[in-house]
Structure 1
Amino acid sequence: MRKLLYPFIISCLGVGGLISCDKSYLDKSTYGTLDAASLANKNGLESLLIGSYSMLDGYSVGTTTLGSWSSAASNWVYGSIAGGDAHKGSTGTDQPEINAIEAYIPIPTNGFFSDKWKVVYEGVTRANIVLKTMPGATDISAADRKRIEGEARFLRAHYHFEAKKMWNLVPFIDETMTDFQVPNVKVNVANDQNIWPRIQADLQFAYDNLPELQGAIGRANKWSAGAMLGKCLLFQKKYAEAKVVLEQVYQRGVNPSGVKYGLLDKYQDNFNAATKNSRESIFASQSSVNDGASAANANYGDVLNAPYGGPFDCCGFFQPSQDLVNSYKVSATGLPDFDTYNTNPVTSDEGIAITDPFTPYSGTVDSRLDWTVGRRGIPFLDYGPHQGISWQRDQAYGGPYNTKKNVYYKSQKGTLTDGSFWASTVTAINTNLIRFADVILWLAECEAEGGDLTKARAYVNEVRARAAKSSSWVMKDGTNSPAANYKVGLYEQAWPDQATARKAVHFERKLELGMEGHRFFDLVRWGEAESTLTKYLQYESTLRTYLVGVKFTAGKNEYFPIPQRQIDLSNNVLKQNTGY
């Protein structure tokens, strides 16, 4: 259901009768414009709606190509690199725009911000075009009208949510401000209002009006709208309200196939193109390959993010930090250490040639480490043991680890990767925007903030119990023996106070969702960005010399600069964020 907007529009333009001499042959819409009348019907609205869905992955081709890895659905640059999960990787001179983001010195003319802005507001505009066109449609039922409006408003809310996380004060654009014939945001809308109420209203409408089941995988349903609404409420610290809706998703939510949402038995199946759209996937950006679209429907945003060398042809970016790796260390009881996990770090092979011996860390670790991070000597999917420095473009720069969650299996090359592209790293792996583990941990957060620490602990233990099962462990190739010393314990003892509960819940999100693009935005909404990232930089700068002297500035770095190009186009109606 992706990337169908432009072909549909072309078909709507009409070419008339090729041999007719009727004067009506001249009565046509201008080539290259949208004809509102021809789209004001059920088929037209569905196609326009697909056009809005198609922006979820942050990339679109057509008369204009929009987006790239700078606007990836995974938010790997803004959520994970800025959040301390990872370094840019590759080499210092490749994609230098990311260097400034990692060093917390972004500037308004950085092209990455402009790309992200254009993509999210293109998604907004496409959703608005659906809403603006719908009143003219006479062939749709009341049920379809509610559903289509619900989907369009859900998507509009999602794209505005992305903008809000990135820049805080941003314009909210609705269908009354959208010109059908010129699908671009009206840049003279001021960014002087808090748009959370507008986002919440759209999500509430979607939750109230979308069906529980949809006719196609990938469409938003009542429960994905409820999960997103709960997330919106959490970002506003409305914990009691969030709890009500998230409990409904937790207890009653079903996926498009009618299967009740739940955790998968195997943690790793959340990141495999062969097992996507599972009962754990509440809402995802859909990806497909080898479909005649020249990889335009693939997971293009993560194309740079795989090991470099050996069996991989691109590109060595997105390398996990030592801080993230150390976070997966556990005590004798299998529990994490929130405060001193960087003491006695996990052993790495940094600076050790592949021809020299290396023994992986023998201490106890959380099993999720080795489905999140590729490290030497541990099986890397079905490629055999990770080959350390020979799979890294510049280990001295990016570090000794590789990303893993967005990498295809060796056995999937050519079938679940796109053979028409310059690199095999364009895959059919979906980007999980919300999975059921998110909902569980959001509920844990609601309970921790509301004072029921017992319930909060039970929710966290539910997530940890999956990681404790051997089905979620990496095994040595060809054996049933664990590849590392895995131990994941449950919180058996009551948490003594709310501060401890908060630490446990927040740290569990780091472990469960590592490298999934959430960390920075979580730290900001919790008010923990300065303290956590200052400690991160103090530690990580001892390993990565380019981080020496880097500082997170409170009151500034919680948000990114408004793209200067957008300010210029608005004739300075848009105002820049503090400090830029």
Structure 2
Amino acid sequence: MKSKSFYHILLSAAIATPFITGCSKSFLERTPQSSLEESSLTNKKGVATLLVGAYGALDGQDFKDGDMVNLSGGSGYAVSPDNWIYGSICGGDAHKGSDPGDAAAILQIGTFIGNATNGFFNDKWRVDYEGIRRCNFVLHILTNVTDMTAAEKDEAAAEARFLRGHYYSDLKKMFDNVPWVDENSNSYSKLNVDEYKIPNDKDVWPMIEADFKFAAEHLNEIQDVIGRANSWAAKAYLAKTLLYEKKYGEAMPIFEDVIAHGVTAKGTAFELRPKFHDNFDAFTENNSEAVFSIQYSANDGSGGTGNANQGEMLNYPYNGPFSCCGFYQPTQDLVNSFRTDDDGLPYIDDFNSHPVKNDMGIASSDDFTPDDGNLDPRLDWTVGRRGIPFLDWGNHPGMDWVRDQQSAGPYAALKNVYMQATQDKYYDGNGWAPGNAINYVLIRFSDVLLMAAECQEQAGDPNLAEKYVNMVRARAADPVGWVKTYIDPDHPMAGYTNTPAANYHVSEYPAGTFAAKGKAWAIKAIQFERKLELAMEGHRFFDLVRWGIAQTELTRYFNYEKTITTDVATGSFAAKNVRFPIPQRQVDLSVKSGAPTLKQNTGY
């Protein structure tokens, strides 16, 4: 059940200057309106208030003139913390959707023709550094606080450093070469614009690793308020950081510790929920599978859509019961990945040779029979497709809920959609596009299991790697969590039958398969399981890059998908695209002594 979030009260900035600013010196010497004097914050209450602000930056949102905008001043969808643009569209999970001319900047990014002047990159950069600035100010203030014990200071510092580690992880995955700014980099008593012109010539992974290590050692195991990070979340994030650094042997025991002993911030042991969809329903969130979540709420009396998930505001089916907007449409390449063979196992190497039937070009008024072949049930908790229950909203009608099939295909996003039965509580319609109370889970327990499997296969025991993958597959194979048909399709709220909505067939890998088939095959199986389990959650592109297969996989994806839709016809992936360009605006603002401090990424 949704409870009150810890960090949705956004802070009136104690220091209102962004990380890099083009403002004049006279502006820098002013005390910003509505700001708090530093001396008023050097106490326990002030630290708590600043921490709220550091958490509040997680969703990238703020109020402006009564509306929600991102912390950079633009629209929330540009900086959504689930990275639906940068992780899922760029990873081949999804098309931009809508029609080609609507938010064309996203299509440029998704086809890898976006350059350094694309404003979405600048928004993302500024929002993450705003989060970092807030964390740094907490750490700066703590040095002068006298009414907190050493343990209390360590706990507060650990929360700030956990959050800073998250913001830097996001930047590192996006841009690779980013400047490290910490509480010692800035003079808070006398702001000097040149102090912010820090070069991006150092690898920041070691500093991120240090932040999560400190957080893991000093955070409480149990927290008094939902939404605050605990020590196990920090350990999971530390191990994930080591995984990205390819330090498999170091990450492995930390993942094992989290799996064996980890608990949520409420003290509940980590375990997979029987129902996959529990991770995407506001009524069942903050559960035993949520290692760390960004909290959202709706209709909570805060005014407007301030605490609702505005990053996903565009990503609902077009027309029908939803007000906006037909973006974020799953790809046929993704849908085909959920095909299973007669043994209930995926077609890892040739899934597109076994395509799932779609309704391209078929009007909603015309007859259509959905695919009757073997499928993984996670498909229908991830993708809205013609003739299959779309949560409790009725069978997806196909073309009537799609803005432009020819451009972006016949499918709809689903994990971000609220339930009809609980919409009065978890849907927020106060904005121009929908908001909802569905948390975004930054790290799920199934994610931990699959990362642990990767480490075991790379540097440990293939049988243990297989065990963890099979735990994830066993949940998918359990009929209790499958999509079922409606008792009355014309009245979906009347409930469900016990009849599966499609021919679901999923099995675990037979014991010893990973060892018998060898490391290279097992690694592919783990990678494919991540594609299925974490689809449309913003991970795919960054996984492909860290595995070193982005160019191969995305070239294959473009070659296949452009035979179905027109939007990616010009898509191509070059070696430079493993990182996004440093925003040109930031390069321009970094000029010092006639030359830019920030170095542009190679190829841009």
Report if TM-score (shorter chain) is over 0.5.
Answer: yes
Give the match for residue 273 of structure 2. 264
Return 143-152 or 59-68, whichever deviates more: 59-68
Q: Aligned partners of 1:227 and 1:338: how far apart in 2?
A: 28
Give the match for residue 550 of structure 1. 571
Q: 1:149 to 1:406 in 2, by over 3 A?
A: same
State the aligned residue count.
561
Structure 2 residue matching 1:302: 3-state secondary structure? coil
Q: Aligned partners of 1:134 and 1:482: how far apart in 2?
A: 56
Deviation at 1:185, TM superposition (A): 10
Deviation at 1:453, TM superposition (A): 1.2
1:489-548 CA-partner distances (Å, limit 9, x unpaired): 110052220011101100000000000000000000000101111111110011122322
Give the match for residue 20 of structure 2. none
Q: Aligned partners of 1:31 and 1:66: how far apart in 2?
A: 17
Q: Aligned partners of 1:185 and 1:504: how far apart in 2?
A: 49
Q: Aligned partners of 1:296 and 1:186: how far apart in 2?
A: 33
With normalisation by structure 2, the TM-score equals 0.90
Alignment of 1:12-161 (within 5 A): 31-61=33-63, 66-67=71-72, 68-161=76-169
Pick one of 475, 490, 498 that aligns with 2:484.
475
Q: Aligned partners of 2:118 and 2:445: how far apart in 1?
A: 35
Structure 2 residue matching 1:61: 3-state secondary structure? strand
Q: Aligned partners of 2:367 and 2:193: how far apart in 1?
A: 57
Deviation at 1:410, TM superposition (A): 1.3
Deviation at 1:90, TM superposition (A): 0.4
Structure 2 residue matching 1:300: 3-state secondary structure? coil
Residue type at the aligned position of 1:536 = Y
Return 266-275 or 448-457, whichever deviates more: 448-457
With normalisation by structure 1, the TM-score equals 0.94
Q: Aligned partners of 1:489 and 1:31: how far apart in 2?
A: 61
8 Å CA contact 1:389, 1:400 repeated in 2:
yes
Deviation at 1:451, TM superposition (A): 4.5
8 Å CA contact 1:109, 1:564 repeated in 2:
yes
Q: Aligned partners of 1:183 and 1:162: how far apart in 2?
A: 27
1:201-251 CA-partner distances (Å, limit 9, x unpaired): 011000011111111111111000000001000000000110111111111
1:441 aligns with 2:450: yes
Give the match for residue 372 of structure 1. 382
Q: 1:103 to 1:41 in 2, by over 3 A?
A: same
Give the match for residue 302 of structure 1. 312
Structure 2: which 5+ residue stretches go unaligned? 1-5, 16-29, 488-496
Return 457-466 or 445-454, whichever deviates more: 445-454
Alignment of 1:480-499 (within 5 A): 480-492=498-510, 493-495=512-514, 496-499=517-520
Give the match for residue 19 of structure 2. none
Alignment of 1:144-543 (within 5 A): 144-180=152-188, 187-291=196-300, 292-423=302-433, 425-478=434-487, 479-492=497-510, 493-495=512-514, 496-543=517-564
Deviation at 1:420, TM superposition (A): 2.1
8 Å CA contact 1:6, 1:62 repeated in 2:
no
Give the match for residue 21 of structure 2. none
1:574 aligns with 2:598: yes
Residue type at the aligned position of 1:494 = T
Structure 2 residue matching 1:481: 3-state secondary structure? strand
Structure 1 residue matching 2:377: 3-state secondary structure? coil
Q: Aligned partners of 2:232 and 2:61: how far apart in 1?
A: 26
Structure 1 residue matching 2:238: 3-state secondary structure? helix
Return 357-366 or 252-261, whichever deviates more: 252-261
1:406-437 CA-partner distances (Å, limit 9, x unpaired): 001112223211142223x2000000100100
Q: Aligned partners of 2:44 and 2:92: how far apart in 1?
A: 46
Return 66-75 or 1-10, whichever deviates more: 1-10
Deviation at 1:312, TM superposition (A): 1.0
Residue type at the aligned position of 2:527 = H
Deviation at 1:136, TM superposition (A): 1.0
Return 180-189 or 323-332, whichever deviates more: 180-189
Q: 1:353 to 1:575 in 2, by over 3 A?
A: same
8 Å CA contact 2:11, 2:50 repeated in 1:
no
Q: Aligned partners of 1:338 and 1:265: how far apart in 2?
A: 25
Return 65-74 or 324-333, whichever deviates more: 65-74
Residue type at the aligned position of 2:182 = D
1:564 aligns with 2:588: no
Q: Aligned partners of 2:114 and 2:342: how far apart in 1?
A: 42
Residue type at the aligned position of 1:45 = V
Residue type at the aligned position of 1:575 = K
Structure 1 residue matching 2:139: 3-state secondary structure? helix
Residue type at the aligned position of 2:513 = A
Q: Aligned partners of 2:311 and 2:193: how far apart in 1?
A: 22
8 Å CA contact 1:129, 1:178 repeated in 2:
no
8 Å CA contact 2:111, 2:570 repeated in 1:
no
8 Å CA contact 1:126, 1:183 repeated in 2:
no
8 Å CA contact 2:14, 2:38 repeated in 1:
no
Q: Aligned partners of 1:524 and 1:183: how far apart in 2?
A: 37
Structure 2 residue matching 1:301: 3-state secondary structure? coil
Deviation at 1:30, TM superposition (A): 6.7
Q: Aligned partners of 2:85 and 2:139: how far apart in 1?
A: 32
Structure 2 residue matching 1:175: 3-state secondary structure? coil
Q: Aligned partners of 1:79 and 1:550: how far apart in 2?
A: 16
Q: 1:253 to 1:229 in 2, by over 3 A?
A: same
8 Å CA contact 1:266, 1:466 repeated in 2:
yes
Deviation at 1:186, TM superposition (A): 5.3
Q: Aligned partners of 2:570 and 2:539: how far apart in 1?
A: 25
Q: Aligned partners of 1:246 and 1:397: how far apart in 2?
A: 42
Q: Aligned partners of 2:415 and 2:277: how far apart in 1?
A: 8
Residue type at the aligned position of 1:433 = L
Q: Aligned partners of 2:323 and 2:430: how far apart in 1?
A: 14
Q: Aligned partners of 2:590 and 2:436: how far apart in 1?
A: 37
1:333-359 CA-partner distances (Å, limit 9, x unpaired): 000011110013100001000111000
Q: Aligned partners of 1:310 and 1:418: how far apart in 2?
A: 17
Q: Aligned partners of 1:153 and 1:295: how far apart in 2?
A: 28
Q: Aligned partners of 1:185 and 1:488: how far apart in 2?
A: 58
Q: Aligned partners of 1:220 and 1:43: how far apart in 2?
A: 19
